[in-house]
Amino acid sequence: MKKIFGFIQSATTLFINKRQSLGIIARSSIYARTTYGLFLFFVIYVIILVVMLTYLEIDKSAIAHNLRQIKQLVGPKVAIMAIVKSNAYGHGMVEMAQIAIKAGANWLGVISDSEALILRQAKIKAPIFILSFWDISAIRAEFVYIRDCDFPVYTIEQAKILSQLGQKIRKKINVHIKIDTGASRVGVRPDEAVAFIKKIKKMPGLNLCGIFTHYAASEDGDQTFTNQQTDKFTKVINALEKQGINILFKHAACSAATMINRQTRFNLIRLGIALYGLWPSPDTKFLSDVKNNHIELRPALTWKTRIIQIKDLPTKTSIGYDCTYRTNKKIKIAILPIGYWDGYDRKLSNCGEVLIRGHRCPVRGRVCMNLTMVEIPDTIGPKVGDEVILLGRQGKQEITAEELAQKVGTINYEIIARINPLIIRKYV
């Protein structure tokens, strides 16, 4: 709420100042005060309308519960990095970072320097690791804010720039070397890793404190490729140690690997999708159950909106763009202020369902940019303003990210990560 009213105050002040600068009104005039009041009322009305119609509800206790489950699994000798990249998989990056650290996470993982900057500017002081990339052209300007973060290095050019910056501030910069063991994304090939790391080790201004890799198929029931990657990674570590290079942090495991493949954990794991209460894949859940891990994940996110109009349609009435649905009887529909701009996938047209008063109500016609139509039964007594669940539980019914993913041909990760970041998140 503080953010909302801060926005209102800024908007109204800007509005008044703009008019004053044009000589339209005087600061002390009655017209100015009246205009200010009317504009303030309008802005408050619009903001409240938006907040009340569509928002995400994030269960903080579910996040804490999921983190506890993983901590119990890996034990006290393995640190946990909470992955909050990409707006924390749709949950809100800054808030989730705060919640995760309070719940016991040791590290925070972000995708880039720009995300690290956001967390530092939000006064978050926990250790931050940049997982994938940072902007070489911008790093000097923002370095004062993120110099205490840990950086990934997989090119000599990156290392040279960080070395120069470290010498300039007279403080060693923490770096982790990325080894590409099989995903064929960023990283140094295993056969080039030892020579590469020996060069990095000699550079002033750097503290070589981490080495890491990323799995390509850790969510599969067949762990053969994951084990091959782990073997390549371990061989690099062993070769380094034979030459007297001992690196403090070794990390490879994501959520799936953590839960079903013990040898991937090393001394730091990166907890992503499971932190938010979702299983990486059906195979992951199956194998975890087979291993008697006793992990129970609780989804933290519920996506809600409200009915803005209800109308009765006669037989043979078309609904939505391209007239893809045509009624074969009299029906009642509810109009929802949600669409693909918000992240509600257009592929849910004529196949998605939402929950209204504990009942599943099917999407009729195309999902529009900002509106969606659903059929509702008369028997539930729907009203304008009724709560609608797009994702989550209502009564005995539940719409899961996996269900939506199956209908649109994707994965649960994408369903939550693509929810528009402008939608209000409420943390309960």
Tell me the pLDDT band of 28, cut-offs 50, 70 and 90. Answer: very low
End position of a domain, from candidates 12, 29, 53: 53
Segment 167-180, tens digit of pLDDT: 999 999 999 999 99
Q: Which of 45, 198, 321, 330 is catalytic?
A: 321
- Indicate if the pLDDT at residue 14 is higher than 50: no
Domain finish residue from 257, 290, 323: 290
- Report the alpha-carbon distance of residue 5 to residue 12 in Å, rounded: 10
Query: Is the residue at 23 inside a domain?
Result: yes
Residues 73 and 133 in one domain: yes
Least confident of 42-46, 275-279, 327-331, 363-367: 42-46
Q: Which one is catalytic: 71, 85, 232, 250?
A: 85
User: Are 80 and 128 in the same domain?
Assistant: yes
For residue 46, the model assigns a pLDDT of 52
Mean pLDDT of the chain: 91
The answer on 224 and 178 residing in a single domain is: yes
Average pLDDT in the 376-393 region? 95
Name the phi and psi angles at 211, rounded to 5.
-140, 135
CATH number of the CATH domain containing 420: 2.40.37.10
Are 243 and 347 contained in the same domain?
no
Q: Under 8 Å CB-to-CB from 303, ≥6 apart: which residues?
A: 56, 57, 389, 390, 391, 392, 419
Q: Are residues 182 and 311 in the same domain?
A: no
Please indicate, yes or no, whether residues 234 and 341 belong to a single structural domain of this protein: no
Query: Structure tokens of 341?
Result: 């701009």
Q: What is the pLDDT of residues 138-167, one digit of tens each?
A: 788 888 889 999 999 999 999 999 999 999
The residue among 28 and 196 whose pLDDT is bigger is 196
Whether 342 is covered by a domain: the verdict is yes
pLDDT in tens, 224-283: 999 999 999 999 999 999 999 999 999 999 999 999 999 999 999 999 999 999 999 999
Active site residue 316: no
Confirm if 119 and 92 have CB atoms less than 8 A apart: no
Q: Does residue 297 lie in a domain region? A: no
85 is catalytic: yes
Per-residue pLDDT tens digits for 122-136? 999 999 999 999 998
Q: Indicate whether 189 and 251 sit together in one domain.
A: yes
Sign of the dihedral defined by the CA atoms of residues 376, 377, 383, 387, in that order: negative
The answer to whether the CB of 235 falls within 8 A of the CB of 181 is: no
Tens digit of pLDDT for each residue in 299-310?
999 999 999 999
Model-wide pTM > 0.85? yes
What is the tens place of the pLDDT at every residue in 29-52? Answer: 444 555 566 666 655 555 554 456
Q: What is the CATH number of the domain that holds 195?
A: 3.20.20.10
Which of 235, 265, 290 represents a domain boundary (last residue)? Answer: 290
| Residue 315 shares a structural domain with residue 286 | no
Instruction: Please check whether residues 78 and 18 belong to one and the same domain.
Output: no
Decide if 298 is inside a domain.
no
Mean of the pLDDT values across residues 94-98? Answer: 98
Ramachandran region, residue 365 (left: φ > 0; alpha: ψ -120 to 50; beta: rest): left
Tell me, yes or no, whether 296 lies in a domain.
no
Task: Give me the mean pLDDT over the 64-76 stretch.
Answer: 97
Average pLDDT over residues 323-351: 97
Q: What percent of the chain has pLDDT over 70?
A: 88
Indicate whether 216 and 234 sit together in one domain.
Answer: yes
**Residue 9: inside a domain, yes or no?**
yes
Judge whether residue 295 has pLDDT over 60.
Answer: yes
Domains of the chain: total: 3
Residue 247 shares a structural domain with residue 312: no
Contact 152, 176 (CB under 8 A): yes
Q: How many CB atoms lie within 10 A of CB 46?
A: 12
Q: Find tokens 């719940």 and name the residue.
A: 103
One domain, residues 79 and 215: yes
36 in any annotated domain:
yes
User: Is a pLDDT exceeding 60 seen at residue 26?
Assistant: no
Which domain covers residue 32, as residue numbers?
A: 2-53
